[in-house]
Amino acid sequence: MDTQSLYREELLEHYRNPQNFGKLSHFDISSKQSNPFCGDHVEMFITLEKDKIKNIGFDGRGCAISMAGGSMLTEFAKGKTKEELTSFSEKDMLALLGIEVSETRKKCALLALSVLKDCLYGVKSKS
């Protein structure tokens, strides 16, 4: 199996068994966004301990890339501080997904990151 196939397999596994899926019963911040082109949406819930993400969950529905993105990103973000995540860029998100993403699927790939940034810094990406 080549590297791209391995990454694709990992992504599909996150889609089939998303980590941190579901609304948290207690949370400090939340935000949601939709992809205007397809109507898919992601909502994220975060509990903070000082500046650190103590717990994080996401909910929503969407394509394999957007849902796997929510799963992978919440796994990555858990336990990190707001400061540590400041520099996590769109390029980093694409690298985390590990697959080639076409221009038309970029919005899917970056949906979860946009919601996370909105939660942490109140920054909504343009749509």
Dihedral angle, C-alpha 115, 118, 120, 123, nearest 10 °: 140
**Contact with ligand FES (CB under 6 A) among 97, 108, 113, 116:** 108
- Measured from the CB of residue 25, what is the shortest distance to ligand FES in angstroms? 26
Query: For residue 98, what are its two tokens?
Result: 């590990």
Is 113 a binder of ligand FES (CB under 6 A)? Answer: no
- Measured from the CB of residue 38, what is the shortest distance to ligand FES in angstroms? 3
**Contact with ligand FES (CB under 6 A) among 14, 33, 40, 112:** 40
Residues 6+ apart with CB under 8 A from 96: 72, 73, 76
- Measured from the CB of residue 65, what is the shortest distance to ligand FES in angstroms? 6
In this structure, the chain runs to a length of 127
Contacts with ligand FES, residue ranges (CB under 6 A): 35, 38, 40, 62-63, 65-66, 108, 111
